[in-house]
Structure formats: structure tokens, C-alpha cells
Amino acid sequence: MTFAAWILASLALAQATLGPVPAGALRVYLVRHGQSFSNLEPAPDLPADQLDRLTDLGHEQSRRAGAALRDRGVALVLSSPAGRAKATAEEIRAVLSAPPVPVEPRLRPLALGRSADGKPLDWDRRIAEWKAGRDPTPDGGESMEQVGQRVHDLLRSLARERAGRSLVLVTHSEVIGALVGRIEGTPPAKRYPPQAKNGSITAVEIGGDGTVRLLFANQAPAEAPAAAH
């Protein structure tokens, strides 16, 4: 399935009734963090820690994601270490009355790395490589393939620990795109741009045999209700 087909199919998938979590399986709702100041165009002239905060809209998107996930048997919300993700996770946790949010390092953003001359790479340089059909692993950085692998490994680990439950993982657009691309067999370089909207929900299920399948993708609760249980 191409990324374009994934996006077109996501709304139809989201309308399907998921039903209870199958015995021995784990259901995971991946939520992209709400809008942050770093997502604004142009980005405000602020220090990095100030850019890594939710806007008022980002807080609202996070609460809407929490409301869409209410009554789905969510046992725990986990978060990327980034401030914008942790703030999103806290909004969702409050709506769901869930336990305190653990930080999960494997949900972190993609590491951009450094160029051959040791200078930090930026998103423009990384995007140029993906557009050219390459998915390199720069010094100190990660490829999209590696990001998809680390999240895939996390899901399988969680499935062994929490079978029969539902979890929420708050993370980043490229992380969700890397995982979905891995599940769908999309070549790594074509997993970018990942398309996940701020506050959107993507659902996957990990079976008892470790197989991960996509249930629906990139559904923004502000635009349509999330799938019924």
C-alpha cells in the first residue's frame, strides 16, 4: 500500500468497529503530539525549550484525542521524552483518569545526526536524501528504517508484558510514519513525509505471534469521531 492509499483508506478504516482486544493481543493507539510552537510557520524566534511547548490549539487537540479514546479500556499512556509529547500525554491522561505517564525513550523523535564534516544536520538536508530515494544513517543519527524498527521492537515488548490491554503512545509524525511504513512494506525513503496530523490517532494491534497490523491511521478527532469500540 502506498502512503497516498494509506491516507485515503484511513477514514474508512477508522469507522470500523474494533470490538474487544483479542485474547493474547495488545491494541496500541499512537497519537501524534498536539500542535507545538515549533510546528508554526514561520516558527517563532524562541529558544528550543520554548518551541517545544504546546500552543493553545495543541492543548485542545490533545484533549480531543483523549476524549476520542475514552471508554476504550486504555490501561496506560506512555510518552516520548519531548516536552510537546509529554504535555499531550498529560492532557490525554487527565481525560482518561489514567495512571501517571511513564516516559519511553524509544518514542523519541528521529535523530538527525551530523554531516561528514561534523556539523549538525537539519530537516532540509535529511528530506533531500529521502526525496532522492536514499535513507542514510548519518553519524549520530537514524534512518527511517531504524526508527520503524525501534518502535516495532517496543510494541512487541509491550505485547509480551500487557497482552489483552490497550495502551496510548504519544510520539511524533516521523515516528508514526516510520512504523506504519514498516508494517505496510513501504520502502524506507518513501515513509517521509509521514502525513500524521497534530493530535491524530493511528491504531495498531500486536497479535500473540508478534505480528503487527494496522487498524486505522491518521484520524484527527477534531475532524471526525474516532472508531467505535
DSSP letter for 111, please.
Answer: P
Q: Which of 226, 215, 177, 212 is nearest to 3 (CA)?
A: 177
Residues 151-171: what's their mean pLDDT?
A: 96
pLDDT tens figures, 108-148: 999 999 999 999 999 999 999 999 999 999 999 999 999 99
| CB proximity list for 71: less than 8 A, separation 6 or greater | 229
- In the chain, pLDDT over 90 holds for what percent of residues? 81
Tell me how far apart the alpha carbons of residues 1 and 101 are, in angstroms, rounded to a whole number: 34
Q: Whole-model pTM?
A: 0.89
| CB proximity list for 67: less than 8 A, separation 6 or greater | 95, 221
| pLDDT band at 226; cut points 50, 70, 90 | very low
Tell me how far apart the alpha carbons of residues 159 and 215 are, in angstroms, rounded to a whole number: 16
The domains located in the chain, with CATH, are: 3-15+22-112+143-219 (3.40.50.1240)
Tell me how far apart the alpha carbons of residues 157 and 26 are, in angstroms, rounded to a whole number: 10
- In the chain, pLDDT over 70 holds for what percent of residues? 89
| CB proximity list for 149: less than 8 A, separation 6 or greater | 182
